[in-house]
Amino acid sequence: MKNKGWTKLYRAQFAHWISKKPFCDGYAWTYLYNQANHKEGMVNLRNEYIKVERGQFVTSKKKLQKFFGWTRRHLENFLTALENDQMLTYRMTHRFTVVTIVNYEVYQSNDTKSDTQNDRQMTHRRLTGDHKQECIKNDLRMKKKLSDEQIEENKKNITKSKKQFLDIVKDK
């Protein structure tokens, strides 16, 4: 199994029945970095506008605890472990928590767009090349088929013309 590369992950999977609670730590981590904003923006939380940078999201510990199906202690230990490992930081207020994924650029770098684009271009070239080869083969098959059909048609026409000629000669 390869340990490098990228996969696409659909965010709605966390609402799917297969995402039964309680979550394991790895699944919870995947959830956290998938919640992060992919670009800077503003979040309206009860008429309070909060600026959120790329790689951040607004939540609360209570919400995470409920979503993961964990105890408060488990969530605290998990967040502390991630913070100690420099994977995330979080800033709490009395109303919300802003979570920052420290290595967000590593996980969701814009470079992957160019990598993906390069992969698509290479795949397109390969498919286009394969398609061209297949078209050439099909053209050759069609030409052979047409030539065989044309030969048969020509034979019929010659036979028909010969018969017509003989009929004309007979009538005279």
Question: At residue 67, what is the residue type?
Answer: F
The tens digit of pLDDT for each residue in 125-138 reads: 555 555 556 666 66
- Residue 69 is assigned to a structural domain of this protein: yes
**Which range marks the domain in which residue 131 is found?**
110-172
Backbone φ, ψ for residue 10 (5° rounding): -80, 120
pLDDT surpasses 80 at 3: no
Whether 97 and 135 share a structural domain: no
The tens digit of pLDDT for each residue in 85-97 reads: 999 999 999 899 9
The count of structural domains within the chain is 2
Residue 118: count of CB within 10 angstroms of its CB: 10
Q: Return the half-sphere exposure (C-beta side, CA atoms, 13 A cut-off) of residue 121.
A: 6
Instruction: With 0.75 as the threshold, say if the pTM is over it.
Output: no
CATH number at residue 90: 1.10.10.10
